[in-house]
Structure 1
Amino acid sequence: MRSFSEIEDIARDRHGAALEDRIGNGPASPAELAKVPEDRWLAQFTKSVFQAGFNWKVIEAKWDGFEEAFRGFDVDACAFMAEDWFEDLTTDTRIVRNPIKIRTVQANAQMIADMREKGGAGVVIGGWPSEDFVGLLAHLKAHGSHLGAASGQYALRFLRRDGFILSRDVVARLVAEGVVDKAPTSKKAMAAVQAAFNAWRDQSGASLVRISRVLALSV
Structure 2
Amino acid sequence: MRPFDEIIGLAVGRHGGSDAFERMLAETRPSPLHVIAAIPDDRILATMTRRVFYAGFSSKVIDSKWEAFESAFEHFDPARCAWMTEERLDELLKRPDIVKNGAKIKSVLENGRFVMELAAKHGAAARFFAEWPDKDYVGLLEFLKKNASRLGGETGMRFLRSIGKPAFIPTPDVVRALIREEVLSKSPSGRGDLLKIQAAFNQWSDQSGLDLTSISRTLAMSVG
| TM-score, structure 2 as length reference | 0.94
2:98 corresponds to 1:81: no
Measured in 1, the distance between the counterparts of 2:145 and 2:37 equals 21
Residue 21 of structure 1 pairs with residue 23 of structure 2 = yes
Runs of 4 or more, structure 1, over 6 Å off, are none
Tell me, yes or no, if structure 1 residue 184 matches structure 2 residue 188. Answer: yes
How many Å separate the matches in 1 of 2:12 and 2:115? 40
Which residue of 2 is the match for residue 203 of structure 1? 207
My pick for the range that moved more, 21-30 or 185-194, is 21-30
Q: Which residue of 2 aligns with 1:162?
A: 166
Residue of structure 2 in register with 1:4 after alignment: 4
Task: Supply the distance in 2 between the matched residues of 1:139 and 1:156 (Cα, whole angstroms).
Answer: 12
- SS in structure 2 at match of 1:161: coil
Find the aligned partners of 1:183 and 1:89 in 2 and give their Cα distance: 38
1:215 aligned to 2:224? no
* % identical aligned pairs: 42
Q: What's 2:99 paired with? A: 96
Secondary structure of 2:126's partner? helix
1:129 corresponds to which residue? Answer: 133
The residue correspondences of 1:106-145 to structure 2 (distance < 5 A) are 106-116=109-119, 117-145=121-149
Q: Write the distance in 1 (CA, Å) between the matches of 2:82 and 2:179.
A: 40
Distance 1:153 1:82 in 2: 30
| Separation of aligned partners in 1, 2:116 and 2:172 | 33
Cα separation, 1, equivalents of 2:172 and 2:47: 22
Selected match of 2:72 from 69, 72, 75: 69
The TM-score with structure 1 as length reference comes to 0.96
SS at match of 1:16: coil
Please give the secondary structure, in 1, of the residue aligned with 2:108.
helix
Pairs aligned (count):
219
Structure 2 residue runs without a partner (length 5+): none
Residues 41-100 of structure 1 show CA distances to partners (whole Å, capped at 9, x for unaligned) of 110111011111211111111111110011000001111111111011111112111111
CA RMSD between the two structures: 1.1
| Partner Cα distance (1:11, 1:163) in 2 | 19
In 2, the alpha carbon distance for the partners of 1:67 and 1:145 equals 19
Quick one: which amino acid aligns to residue 78 of structure 1?
A: C
Matched residue SS, 2:30: coil
Offset of residue 157 of structure 1: 1.0
